[in-house]
Amino acid sequence: MAKENIVENIVWHEGHVDRSQRESLLQQRGVVVWFTGLSGSGKSTIAFTVEHALAARERLAYVLDGDNIRHGLNNNLGFSATDREENIRRIGEVSRLFADTGVVVLSSFVSPYRTDRDNVRTLLAEGDFLEVFVNTPLEVCEQRDPKGLYKKARAGEIPNFTGISDPYEAPLSPELEIHTQDLSVEAAAEQVLDLLAARGKIPAPTSAETV
């Protein structure tokens, strides 16, 4: 590149680089895939599987979940309705920044209240928020109980536990609803990948990539 072009590129700038420039670099579009469902429904497993599949396709994705949020950004919040609201609000704002960077954000949170999820949708541009309802019945989640949380909740050791002592408000019109009972994790992840491709967020897979 000619020297003067570079000089031109780093002259004094008052404003941000356009999101579209980052998206061109990444060959994808920023988007928030919001996985909601009961504890044990399979949200995070599906999100991780999608993350790995996107990495294999050389797409930039990032999972936000309880592990990296509740122990970090939101380590000063509990599980009251007010704290849950602030929890989801902050995650929504962070998701928005990631989407603006051009990243495919995979946000995996119980996020039981409809209003809180809808507020996140409102934060984002039209089409940038894809709500994925991981619809696994409570009985199945409780039977799986991978972290032993339901057992503790039934014993009264965990207050405000969604599905037991706190409500879960199912999405009314999610972009995708996954019935994990009828599907393998791989097939569930494929549904999310297909949604991303259909919405033009990632390139459609080549025939070799179609499982």
Catalytic residue among 41, 44, 107, 111: 111
Please state, in angstroms and rounded to a whole number, the distance separating the CA atoms of residues 24 and 171.
33
- Of 157 and 209, nearer to a second copy (C-beta) is 209
Contact 150, 194 (CB under 8 A): no
> What is the nearest approach in angstroms of a second copy to the Cβ of residue 125?
14
Element (H, E) at 171: none
Q: Dihedral of the CA atoms 162, 71, 196, 130 (nearest 10)?
A: 40
> What is the nearest approach in angstroms of a second copy to the Cβ of residue 50?
8
Verify binding: residue 195, a second copy, rule CB under 8 A.
no
Please state, in angstroms and rounded to a whole number, the distance separating the CA atoms of residues 211 and 192.
13
> What is the nearest approach in angstroms of a second copy to the Cβ of residue 25?
6
Verify binding: residue 116, a second copy, rule CB under 8 A.
no
> What is the nearest approach in angstroms of a second copy to the Cβ of residue 10?
4
Verify binding: residue 209, a second copy, rule CB under 8 A.
yes
Contact 65, 94 (CB under 8 A): no
Report the site for a second copy in 39-68 (rule: CB under 8 A). Answer: 45, 48-49, 51-53, 55-56, 58, 60-64, 68
Contact 129, 121 (CB under 8 A): yes
Mapped onto helix, strand or coil, the DSSP state of residue 106 is strand
Among 29, 33, 41, 98, binds a second copy (CB under 8 A): 98
- Of 23 and 175, nearer to a second copy (C-beta) is 23
Contact 61, 49 (CB under 8 A): no
Backbone angles phi, psi at 22, to 5 degrees: -65, -40
- Of 16 and 173, nearer to a second copy (C-beta) is 16
Mapped onto helix, strand or coil, the DSSP state of residue 159 is coil
* Number of residues assigned to the chain: 211
**Can you give the binding site for a second copy, defined by CB under 8 A?**
1-3, 6-7, 9-17, 21-22, 25-26, 45, 48-49, 51-53, 55-56, 58, 60-64, 68, 72-73, 76, 86, 90, 93-94, 96-98, 100-103, 123, 185-186, 189-190, 208-209, 211
